[in-house]
Amino acid sequence: MCPVQPNHRKIVSYNSFPPPPPYPSAYDWYQGHGTHVSGIVAGAAGPNYILATQYNGSAPGAKIVFDDISNTEPYLNYLPWDLNNSLYPHAYGNGARIHSNSWGRKYSRSYDFQCVETDSFMYDHDDFLVVFAAGNSGPYPFSIGSPGVAKNVLSVGSSLNSQYKHTDLSIFSSRGPTFDLRNKPDIIAPGQNIFSASSDGIRNSYQCANSIGLNKSCILEMSGTSMATPAVAGAAAIVRQYFEQGYQVSGERSDDKSANPSSALVKAMIIQSSKPLRSFGSDMSWQESTESPSPEQGYGLLDLSSVLWFGPDSNFVLKTYDRVELYTALLCYIWRNQFRATLVWTDPPGSMYASKSLISDLDLFVVDVNGSTHYGNHRT
């Protein structure tokens, strides 16, 4: 592990779990995966690299605590066996509260030990949100791998990017539900044909090229839920900043109203922001979503503009409750035509390979002024 460098521009701390020699070294390969996803979440090209600035990350002002688990898929076997005690504490101890993971166990789709460890750490550290790629085994159902099926994580699928049609679900994006019939993925973000930072594979080159599409380019195109996941993680960082700077009180920055949001609240904001996408159906045509959440796309496509409230500049009102015990209900007075509510909680870890992993099985319903009951997710 490298010494912590809090004043570094981007990388605060680096920790590596490399396989032993003669296997891959503890740095990224040429056109490597880790460099690319890091650029998506927090990339910020310097002012001298104008061509690259258009591909800055979704949270360009954020800093990174990096855990290097390998530079090629077969060596993921060298992950620490106990994520709860050996992976997540490094990030949390150095100030990170969003943990982006563009990896998973393709052939383990049950609530396994890595799901238990992840849920356990999140339950014990309630302001730590772990984000996982759903996987690229679509369009088949029950195809999301572990730990992306853990209860408390934000599981991310992929859509096309705006160069094509970002309101369409990527065919390769893994589908839910989980084997114990929970809703996954949770959210979708563009992950297909995504341009981001490229590694030249040379450890000490400090590459800062100013070209695109060439051999020595600083920019590379990749596709996968690996690319969608850091985009959502960056959005989650922006949501955290929104509460830390007190915007939730008046819609304007109020540092004296700063709050430390729970991971459940950040996850709720991400889910609340969603809108439905089209998906490619069994009849070989694009179809509009008829349910939310759905096994294909969870709650839909991320859209922070629909949930971050900035006072009179927004055409909606936001009300949040965090770390509250629910005995019966929360009372809300609604004066607009549309009302949307999202309930998220951080569940205690379940038993490994349990037929039902949920411990707290909560239901959301709304009773209107006429006494009619409306259940969440279009259920009756």
Q: What is the pLDDT of residues 245-278, one digit of tens each?
A: 999 999 999 999 999 999 999 999 999 999 988 8
CA distance 269 to 316: 14
In 3-state terms, what secondary structure has residue 102? coil
Q: What is the pLDDT of residue 229?
A: 98
The mean pLDDT of 199-226, rounded to a whole number, is 72
Is there a domain that residue 326 lies in?
no
Q: Are the beta carbons of 184 and 298 closer than 8 angstroms?
A: yes
In 3-state terms, what secondary structure has residue 133? strand
Q: What is the pLDDT of residue 288?
A: 78
Is there a domain that residue 151 lies in?
yes
Q: What is the pLDDT of residue 75?
A: 59
Q: Which two tokens stand for residue 375?
A: 């259940």
In 3-state terms, what secondary structure has residue 66? strand
Q: Which two tokens stand for residue 199?
A: 């590694």
Asked if residue 333 has pLDDT above 90, the reply is no
Q: What is the pLDDT of residue 340?
A: 86
Asked if residue 67 has pLDDT above 70, the reply is yes
Mean pLDDT lowest among 8-17, 48-57, 83-92: 48-57
CA distance 254 to 6: 25
Q: Which two tokens stand for residue 181?
A: 């019939």
| pLDDT top residue among 164 and 84 | 84
Asked if residue 133 has pLDDT above 70, the reply is yes
Amino acid letter at 378? H
Is there a domain that residue 43 lies in?
yes
CA distance 321 to 304: 18
The mean pLDDT of 27-43, rounded to a whole number, is 85
Is there a domain that residue 333 lies in?
no
Most confident of 54-58, 91-95, 167-171, 280-284: 91-95
The mean pLDDT of 282-306, rounded to a whole number, is 84
Q: What is the pLDDT of residue 223?
A: 95
Closest CA to 135 of 58, 224, 243, 195: 224
Q: What is the pLDDT of residue 112?
A: 94
CA distance 93 to 123: 16
Q: Are the beta carbons of 56 and 41 closer than 8 angstroms?
A: no
Q: What is the pLDDT of residue 101?
A: 96
Is there a domain that residue 347 lies in?
no
Q: What CATH number is associated with residue 38? A: 3.40.50.200
Q: What is the pLDDT of residues 175-192, one digit of tens each?
A: 999 999 999 999 999 999
Q: What is the pLDDT of residue 23?
A: 62
**pLDDT-derived band at 77, boundaries 50, 70, 90:** low
The mean pLDDT of 10-38, rounded to a whole number, is 78
Q: Which two tokens stand for residue 166?
A: 């970002």
Number of domains in the chain: 1
Q: What is the pLDDT of residue 167?
A: 78
Main-chain dihedrals φ then ψ at residue 66, nearest 5 degrees: -105, 130
pTM: 0.92
| pLDDT top residue among 184 and 210 | 184
Q: Are the beta carbons of 55 and 45 closer than 8 angstroms?
A: yes
Q: Could you tell me the maximum CA-CA distance found in the chain, to the nearest angstrom?
A: 71
Is there a domain that residue 156 lies in?
yes
Give the distance from CA 260 to its chain's centroid. Answer: 18
| pLDDT top residue among 259 and 212 | 259
Q: What is the pLDDT of residue 186?
A: 97
| pLDDT top residue among 166 and 80 | 80
**pLDDT-derived band at 80, boundaries 50, 70, 90:** confident
CA distance 58 to 41: 5
CA distance 311 to 67: 39
Give the distance from CA 312 to its chain's centroid. Answer: 29
CA distance 187 to 138: 15
Is there a domain that residue 360 lies in?
no
Instruction: Please report, for residues 18, 24, 75, 145, the alpha-carbon distance to residue 21 in angstroms, rounded to integers and kept in the order given.
Output: 9, 7, 12, 29
In 3-state terms, what secondary structure has residue 52? helix
Q: Are the beta carbons of 157 and 122 closer than 8 angstroms?
A: no
> Structural domain of residue 89, as residue ranges?
11-306
Q: What is the pLDDT of residue 181?
A: 93
Is there a domain that residue 56 lies in?
yes
